[in-house]
Structure 1
Amino acid sequence: MTEPITYLFVPGDRPDRFGKALTSGADRIIIDLEDSVLADHKMAARDAIAAAALDWQNVIVRINPVDTVHFEFDMSLLRSVPVRMVMLPKTESSDMISRVNRSLDKKCAMLPQIETVKSLFALQDILHADRVDRVAFGHLDFALDLGSSTDKDSLLYARSQIVHHSRYAEKPAPIDSVTAEFRDTDTVSAEAKAAKNLGFGGKLIIHPAQDLPVKKGFAPSPADIAWAKSVVQIIEKGGSGALAADGSMIDKPVEIRARHIIERAGKIS
């Protein structure tokens, strides 16, 4: 089973958007209590989440950082709803994750965001923390912390490290950060494809219009699908072992890649 690809943010103080987000086609929605909600709106946002009829299987709640005055109020909310996954912004250590785990009276999957240089250098500690599912990159806050540009070349090292560390920790491929230009679907799709080529497995989105362009970017190309089908067909006809096809060798890694392409193509279609 493949992991979710698109994760759609919706502000916690906009309950009128919850239902629309859940029917947008996005694989998961993230109801946000952090950056998109003003401080004096956070209590109303918590009340809105508590009162909403939500499909909690597909809902993630992004809480406020553990070192803020809002954290304990967020924990009180999460103890009152059947949340299954929590997004932790600005996660810089496994201790931060442990604090969330201790504050909850249930087992929830954790989705830490890598948003600072300290986060980057604590990746193995974070990835091996209890209940961590996978990690997500937050490039805007990361660039702010680093003092760099937000363009892809400036953040290539950070993105690559997140992918490599996730693989080393045997976690699902990480989730790439948002694309701010949500009306430019070509840019959205191109950035999704670039993330896929680096080894990311999904992407955060800020508008329902980004869902299909992101999935298009993560989808295998027609040429890749045709290649994968031909590889599987040859293997199924010829049995196990290394086989020659179109001048190339087919061994186990090639077979696994081919089957993964077919699986991903089926999910996205």
Structure 2
Amino acid sequence: MPTEPFPLTWLYVPGDRPRVVTKALASGADVVLVDLEDAVAPDRKEYARTATAELLAEPPLVPVHVRVNALSTPLAAADLTALAPLPGLSGLRLPKVTSPAEVVHVAEGFAPAEGGAIPLYALLESALGVERAYAVATSHPSLKGITLGEADLRADLGVRSDTALDWPRSRVVLAARAASLPPPAQSMHPDTKDLDGLARSCDHGRALGFLGRTAIHPRQLPVIERAYLPTQEEIEAAEGIVQAAAKEPGAQALPDGRFIDAAVVASAHRTLSLARRAASSPSGV
């Protein structure tokens, strides 16, 4: 199955619109997320599943993940049965996860017959899911990431302020780190024309510890990538830290007064890894 290094942009597309999916594969997104759940009307679910299975019969050029229907519904079993064995599937997004048992059920009940494991990603979209974030994050080796589904979480909590979600956001970032999973990607920004608001929101998400973001329109992708790639100033600072650490291992104070230790050096290496991604990006972002 395809893999994707440092994914920063994840583009959702409805599974019942194959031509839109084809366009998404050429959009520049790091990962295309084919949605069989909320974006598909009930009478289009079977068609969406069939169309997605046809797409994944061969590995596409871009990694494709599929968000199946809620695991509490019969639709999810049909989705998983049809899609799990396909060679073009890079990952499964499991919506509305509230317990580790749900992840284990998918990981052990729908593994490909030829062996191997399907990378799973759990969406925490309720108060109960957030409360169990670490238990879900450590539920099975096949689980490769967790993140929030903020639209459903807002409804569940009855909150109106965006800042009211900062605690659940931090909870999920902490749970992912404690479970040695990659930093979560931010939940999507619902206004596809509000690019300035998207940029501000991405800056806030990056400050909270997220890495990358889901999108619902290709115009959002460059904004997300710019927000999550390091600035020139950050790159230069990281280079200085790495060079100083190479000359003199261990904790030290730099001439400009900055104190560095192993944790600071590790963060600097991560910054430079992301910078190398920017240098090799076809978009030049």
Q: 2:251 aligns with which of 230, 234, 242?
A: 242
1:67 deviation in Å?
A: 1.1
Equivalent pairs counted in the alignment come to: 267
Helix, strand or coil at the partner of 2:96? coil
Q: 2:166 aligns with which of 152, 156, 165?
A: 156
Helix, strand or coil at the partner of 2:191? coil
TM-score (norm 1): 0.93
TM-score (norm 2): 0.88
Distance change >3 Å, CA 225–CA 57, structure 1 → 2: same
Q: 2:109 aligns with which of 103, 113, 126?
A: 103
Task: Give the match for residue 9 of structure 2.
Answer: 6
Letter of the aligned partner of 1:29 in structure 2? Answer: V
Q: 2:268 aligns with which of 249, 258, 262?
A: 258
Helix, strand or coil at the partner of 1:155? helix
Give distance in 1, aligned partners of 2:23 and 2:165: 33
1:54 deviation in Å?
A: 4.7
Residues 11-55 of structure 1: per-residue CA shift (max 9 Å, x gap): 000100222111211111110100000010011111111222552
Q: Cα RMSD between the aligned structures?
A: 1.8
Give distance in 1, aligned partners of 2:48 and 2:69: 12
Task: Give the match for residue 214 of structure 2.
Answer: 204
Letter of the aligned partner of 1:140 in structure 2? Answer: A
Q: 1:86 aligns with which of 84, 88, 92?
A: 92
1:1-269 matches, within 5 Å, as 3-52=6-55, 54-55=59-60, 58-82=63-87, 83-106=89-112, 107-130=117-140, 131-149=142-160, 151-236=161-246, 238-243=247-252, 244-269=254-279
Residues 206-227 of structure 1: per-residue CA shift (max 9 Å, x gap): 1111111001111222221121
Residues 183-208 of structure 1: per-residue CA shift (max 9 Å, x gap): 22222122112111100122111111
Letter of the aligned partner of 1:250 in structure 2? Answer: I
Distance change >3 Å, CA 248–CA 101, structure 1 → 2: closer
Give distance in 2, aligned partners of 1:216 and 1:98: 36
Give distance in 1, aligned partners of 2:107 and 2:251: 47
Query: Which of structure 1's runs of 4+ aligned residues deviate more than 6 A?
Result: none
Distance change >3 Å, CA 97–CA 56, structure 1 → 2: farther
In structure 2, stretches of 5+ residues that fail to align are 280-285
